[in-house]
Amino acid sequence: MVEHLIRDAIEKLNEKRESDEKVRAELEGLDRTIMISLTDGRIFNFAIENGHLSELRDGAIQNPDISIESDAETLEGIFKGEIGAMKALALKRIRVNASIQDMLRIRKLF
């Protein structure tokens, strides 16, 4: 289920990039690698390449720019709007390793 929600979020953000000038400007020229590690052992990754999000892939990557660690239930709750990302961070149900700039940018986009 969580994999499907991540794929949908990537697709929606790419669509939003095409239709929203502010989102397009925020992502323009941005290149980042993102890895999501779940407590059940599943690991996913995707990239932002010149502002476009790639498809979700299985597996770990070396030295991601942004790494996210959580359990599937918390990520599902964030994507469904059942828990806020900031609350999940405060409760230590999700950990994000990223620069401050990337954290602020991610927060604005989602």
pLDDT > 70 in the chain, percent? 97
Q: Which long-range contacts (CB under 8 A, 24 or more apart) does 43-46 make?
A: 44/3, 44/6, 46/10
Q: From the CB of residue 13, how many other CB atoms can be counted at a distance below 10 Å?
A: 18
pLDDT, tens digit, 9 for 90 and up, residues 17-45? 999 999 888 888 899 999 999 999 999 99
CATH number of the CATH domain containing 25: 3.30.1050.10
**Complete DSSP assignment for 67-83:** EEEE-HHHHHHHHHTSS
**pLDDT tens readout for residues 40-68:** 999 999 999 988 999 999 999 999 999 99
Confidence of residue 108 (pLDDT cuts 50, 70, 90): low
Domains in the chain, number: 1
- Could you tell me which of 3, 23, 5 has the C-alpha nearest to residue 13? 23
Helix (H, G, I), strand (E, B) or coil at 98: coil
